[in-house]
Structure 1
């Protein structure tokens, strides 16, 4: 692949990553406004067309009236109110379809022009298929909100949907970075680079686990409780932390434990990243690695502040959506840092 083609292809893939961040933001807003259950049918192709007549709007509204969320939360909800939540969910689904077209149409053009390799073509086709599967996972999640006495989707399915989106984001971002920088930067101190690389891998693991814990915090609405920091109801460790048996059940169903675990993991992640950045910058890294480490350090400070702000303000929609989206940005910067260090392991490109 020529340098010009590398720049073109990587820019296209970075655009898709940016669109994925937008999708994550829309997903957060959809969840926090309760809009996710407003569209009762799943039509992967024809669903791209919104209601175009008053009769179709009435039909959609009647379908929504048949689920528990309407009777429990929105009894007497007028058509105008329904349209507000409908449009947010429709935009969320439309954005997913748009990303599929942004991936597939340029891919066909690049293949016809012979601008990308066969292996990259197959990888990108796999991403397209995974994107379609993500839409199916989204409907699997939404469908759980239709069960009796339910006003929201099941937390486990929410976390599954979020995790699948982040896996796709990581895979496309790594591919974009590898296309843009096919060769790792040279390093003067190989042992130090290897040590930094191991620390970055540990931070990526912690970021991922913290995001998953955040998904359960969101899915159980645990963020709306204990809106003080750093103490929870006057205690460092909240009461009733281990009220459920077996113990592991508390991590997924007990609100005090879910929120405390997210706080604890976020703090451990911030401290680990701080240690990684300090250690890495002291080891005379390559210029690109220095930039990546610096960005990672600032990003974790911003994300931690966003988390505390979201909690203290009792999870307003804007703060919750930004906090969720910036978690993906932090993950991406960690991946970028790791990518600059891939030459520290022999044979890793």
Structure 2
């Protein structure tokens, strides 16, 4: 039905405005996870949600120049990843919440649900990996989870791309009212 298709195109546009920045947060979080792995930062603080006995370690800005802390300081790298992971989960939850009543194609709705579910699995894997003192099996599963979540976000954003002119022209009369 053409009217439904036009509504879905409009819905996809609304979702796209939210999905793109959320996808960027997912990507940045995955990159920060690579720094955690590269610095063996998962071995430094094996507690959650606190890092040892504190929420924020004292040595997070110990290195000079300051920028080195974000790439080489074990405490800063792990704290950044925790903050980004929490932000990712909250952002995906917000994406789901704000789009739950938008008229959209069922595939898009399914992809949003899949990303939220995968984010929950990913956070569970990350915390489990940390609390278990980073066994290779859980660390590998957590890295695979990051790739899966990033792939789902790429799929979602690709699915939300602007429809081609030929598709829009194929929607008779209704398209002319858009």
TM-score of the superposed pair, with normalisation by structure 1? 0.44
Which secondary structure state, in structure 2, belongs to the residue aligned with residue 343 of structure 1?
coil
How much does 1:190 deviate? 4.7
In the alignment, the residues of structure 1 paired with residue 16 and residue 91 of structure 2 have an alpha-carbon distance, to the nearest angstrom, of: 13
Pick 1 or 2: higher relative contact order, CA cutoff 8 A, min separation 6: 2
Q: 2:101 aligns with which of 258, 282, 286?
A: 282
How much does 1:282 deviate? 1.7
How much does 1:193 deviate? 2.6
Q: Does structure 2 retain, via aligned residues, the 8 Å contact 1:194–1:344?
A: no
Within-5 A mapping of 1:295-334 = 295-334=114-153
How much does 1:283 deviate? 0.6
Q: Does structure 2 retain, via aligned residues, the 8 Å contact 1:281–1:293?
A: no
Change (3 A) 1:306 1:189: same
Q: 1:341 aligns with which of 144, 160, 163?
A: 160
- Say how many residue pairs are matched: 163
Q: Does structure 1 retain, via aligned residues, the 8 Å contact 2:8–2:105?
A: no
Aligned-CA RMSD value: 2.0
Change (3 A) 1:322 1:187: farther
How much does 1:339 deviate? 2.1
Gaps of 5+ in 1: 1-184
Within-5 A mapping of 1:153-302 = 186-188=5-7, 190-302=9-121
How much does 1:269 deviate? 0.8
How much does 1:297 deviate? 1.1
Gaps of 5+ in 2: 167-178
How much does 1:336 deviate? 1.6
How much does 1:280 deviate? 2.0
Q: Does structure 2 retain, via aligned residues, the 8 Å contact 1:227–1:314?
A: yes
TM-score of the superposed pair, with normalisation by structure 2? 0.85
How much does 1:186 deviate? 3.4
Change (3 A) 1:276 1:223: same
